[in-house]
Each structure stands twice: as structure tokens, then as C-alpha cells.
Structure 1
């Protein structure tokens, strides 16, 4: 009998067809709305594999209801939505989809950096709102990117890809990471520095670290106070790494110049969130990996990971 799997969001037909060749597939048919918790709890009761997104909380309570579950395949790089310890205790394999989204996320990170520095969104709105009456010397002036100092917090695959892009802008690249990377320093001309030095010296601070207990609230009022008044904070990692209340205060009081944020503590963000009221922040709806090719690669890799576990093969990306 074919193993049973549940897919928590409507994914491309070609990926579903691929899974249906080997498995009995049930799927939440909505593409824009997450599966309700009560539905998910019912569906996991008899499945062998769960194909999920970062929008699903795969916690101990859910795993306890999944009596025959063998694999959780997360269509994401991050996996803070999954209780890894509980899965390990139950012998459930957890996989993710790193690598395939590295370059696309690095593209978005640099695009967000540039849009924030040069006030692109603000300028577009200025034109569309009919406010552009004349040219003036300091109208919508921003910050230079070429030759600036970029600080990268988290020198993983995406951090390295952003550093490569920075070379084309003749930027000095500083980085802070859990461990020093001499090979990256040699190949990309980056310099390892302490976190405080990175914050003090950088014109742009890019957060590209994974969300872990150690990185939760990594950037608070204390860290923001170390940054230059002309500095820009970019976060395309996870929302919980930056304390949003402290960021709001720093932006409102012009303690730092601007921020570009793709991820938030609560997603979707509450439209009453005060960050959305500021004019010195560019906000995006978590689209770091959102290119057609990359999302297809992620969906396909998540399917391959799931099938590999179910059919006793070694998946490419095992977390536990």
C-alpha cells in the first residue's frame, strides 16, 4: 500500500503529480490561506509524511497526534516552526530546503538594501501622489552604496552570496558569525569582527543569521544605539531576531537612518503595527525566496526529501 502524506498548502500541480505516483496524497486546497489547526490535527492522525510550510506549527502536541508519522518535510530553510526535540524523541525525520534559495534571497537582500538606501519606494509614492512639482538640490536624497561598509551578521550561504554582490559595489565587508571563516575571508576579502565593532563601523547592517534561541532578540535598543545615525538595518532572516519595539523607537527618533525589513515577529504583520506608520522603513511580505524558479526548486526538493525518507533513501537535507 502506498504511504499516506498530507500537504498543508496547495502547491504546483507538477509537484503534486510527482508525489501521487508514489503516495496517497491529501492536500489543503487553499494557496493563500494556511490550513486551520483543527484540520491539520485531524489530517495528521494516520499519515506517514507531512509536507508543510513555515506557517504551520509542528509542535509536540501535533506530533503526539501523528501516530504513524515518519517524516516532516519543511518547504523552507528555517525550521523554527517545528519542535525538533519532540520529533527526535519520536524518531521522526525532519528535512528542509536550503541551498536552492541562496542566490534568490541574496538578490532580494541587496535589492532591499538599495531600495532603502535610495528611498525608492518613497520616491515612487512621491511621484504617484502628485507631490513632484520641481527638482530641488536635496529632494529625496539617500545614502551611497558604492564604497560603503557592509556588516553581515550570519555568514552562511546567503551571507556569502551577499558578500559577493557587495564586491561589485567596492564595499568593505565586515562579518560576525558563530565561527570564523578564513576561507571566506580569503576568497571574498571579508573581515571578521566582534559584534559591537560591526555595529559601530557599518553603514549597512544585514541580518542573515538563522533564528535560534541564541539569536532571538539579538538586535535590541542596546545594539541599535551602537549604530551610526546614518546606518541602515536590513533583515531578510527571521523577524524574532530584531526587537520590533526597539527598532520602531530607533527609527522614530532618527537614531538610525532607515531599515529594510522582509520578516516580522508576527506574520502576516498587523496593519496597526507602528513600524508601518514610519516613512524611513521599507517593508516586504517575506518574499526573500520569491522567484518562480526558486519556489519551484524548493517545492521539488521538499518532495524529494519526503519521498527519500518514506522509501528508505537518504534525503539531501536532514535536520534530525
Structure 2
């Protein structure tokens, strides 16, 4: 009996996922350091499943070229804005992603950015490098997490992991916003509020929401105007949730205290972007899930999604 044929979109896919796929399937990996869309479209016909190691766009054009054999698509990511879900499902193709297994790692990055922005780590480094750092009672004063109000925009699995970790910092109040009150919020002692209420009352605002039509550009000038001047803003969700120019104005005009981003729009930021010149701006190059264990776990789940789908079983994490 012939094996299922699976196409993997990058050669540097974590080995745990590749090994699992290769134990059950005939696996082809796109060659090259950074395969282009043209490379993918040329290679895609004739496969039973696609393992997306990167955010390759899956739309009607790709699905037409892939042909009738394609049965399963699995993306090694929690986000799925690169997938045309309506078109995929219209064709009866199963599709899965890899949430939850990355939540702890992304939560750690959120805490890192929050602490660095609150305590002016980047600004301190700049002063050190310039030989201008002096020990004075009122120099480089930051914001306390202890006794603060932390607002989470999007209390999913990542947001919940962030709250769990911040409890030990003696946060006084946790609030969150979204479509509706959640049981996990009640369990964590977090209060459900409107977005406007969260913006006005929070000392720290952490964005952990996916990118949707509803959240695209959610943080604009009006949103930053509602925040405290001492607020620290962190985004570990998706870059386009924040209007970059609005964030730049908020930081330059000191509407807020500081910001820390792991995701930006555009991504990556151009090396000469004005945001990168600001002392109250912390940034990482989208490292949220970048640990050895987490990436291997994501690859394993993505591979298992494919195997389950081809075997006629439910995907581990279907979309």
C-alpha cells in the first residue's frame, strides 16, 4: 500500500514533526533557505497534505493548483490569518493549527517585554553605551508591577498563562476584554470589562488577541488617547492589531510611558524605522514561541493533525 504524500514548506522544520510524518508518510521538503510562493505553487500538485512551516498564504489560487488530492492542511502556528478558511472548508479540506502548546513560551515573552519596558532596560543600555549613566535617586525611574492593574486584551490560553505568571508579582487587579465573560477569567480572579474601561484603568495593557477583521487596527490614536500617561503597552498577538503610526505618536508625545512589541506591522520593521530610535520602545523579532521544546511541540502537533486527518480521525486542533 502506498504512503500518503505530504509536502513540507521549509527545510528547517523542527525534527520532531518531520520524524513523526516520515514514520507514516512519504514526505517532500521544499528545498532552499527561503522558498518563494512560486516555488510552493510549482511543487504543490499531487500531494495529500501540506505542512505549513511558515505563514505561506493558502488561497483559492493555491488550492486550484494543488488539485483534488489535497485532503489536509496543517499550519505550525496558533495564528491562521494566512489561511482562507472559508475557501478551504468549501472544498472539504481539513485544516488545523497548533495553539495551546506555545502559550507558556509566548507568555514568558510577554513578561520579558513588560518588565523591560516598565523598568526602562533599553534606555538604560543606551545611556551605558554612551557613558552617560549616573547613579542618582531620581534617574531611570520605572513603573511598579506590584499593586498595579493589568489589562489583557484577549483572554485565551496565552492571556491566561500571562495572568498566572503575573500573580507572583503582586498585581492588585486583573481585567480583561473580549466578546464575553469567560470561566477562566473567573477562575483567575480577573474582571471582565469593556475595552474602553480596560484602556482607562490599566497600568499595563497586554494584547494577546488574534488578528481578525474585528481586531485589525484596533489600537489607533483614539485607543492610545484613552490610556494613562504612565501605561506600559505590550503586544504579543499580531502586528496589524496595532496601527504603527499611532503607536509611534503615542510614544513620541508621551501619551503612554513605554511599549514592548514582539510583533509589528510591517514585520520586520525596516532598520531605519523611527520606532527603533526611541528610548521607551522595546522590541523583539517575533520570538514568542522560539524555544527548542515549544517549536518541537508545535511541529509534533502539526504533524499529528495531518496524520489524524489522513486517517479519517479528528485533528488535534482543528480550525
Partners of 2:189 and 2:17 lie apart in 1 by 40
Shift of 1:241: 0.5
Q: Secondary structure at the residue paired with 1:168?
A: helix
Shift of 1:14: 4.1
Higher RCO, 1 vs 2 (CA within 8 Å, ≥6 residues apart): 2
Would you say the 8 A contact 1:105–1:288 is kept in 2? yes
Partners of 1:13 and 1:210 lie apart in 2 by 27
Q: Secondary structure at the residue paired with 1:98?
A: coil
Counterpart mapping for 1:99-118 below 5 A: 99-118=100-119
RMSD: 1.5
Q: Secondary structure at the residue paired with 2:251?
A: helix
Partners of 1:272 and 1:125 lie apart in 2 by 17
Partners of 1:146 and 1:36 lie apart in 2 by 47
With 115-124 and 198-207 compared, the bigger mean Cα shift is at: 115-124
- Paired position in structure 2 for 1:20: 22
Counterpart mapping for 1:98-247 below 5 A: 98-132=99-133, 134-171=134-171, 172-181=173-182, 183-247=183-247
- Paired position in structure 2 for 1:83: 84
Consecutive unaligned residues of structure 1, counting only runs of 5 or more, are: none
Alpha-carbon spacing, 1:194–1:19, altered in 2? closer, same or farther (3 Å): same
Structure 1 runs, 4 residues or longer, greater than 6 Å off: none
| TM-score of the two chains, using structure 2 as the length reference | 0.94
Would you say the 8 A contact 1:203–1:231 is kept in 2? yes
Q: Secondary structure at the residue paired with 2:263?
A: coil
Partners of 2:17 and 2:54 lie apart in 1 by 18
Q: Secondary structure at the residue paired with 1:167?
A: helix
| TM-score of the two chains, using structure 1 as the length reference | 0.94
Q: Secondary structure at the residue paired with 1:4?
A: strand
Shift of 1:233: 0.8
Q: Secondary structure at the residue paired with 1:51?
A: strand
1:183-242 CA deviation, whole Å, 9 max, x = no partner? 334322111111111101111110011111111111110111000111111000001111
1:128-161 CA deviation, whole Å, 9 max, x = no partner? 44333x3112222211111111011101111111
Would you say the 8 A contact 1:54–1:78 is kept in 2? no
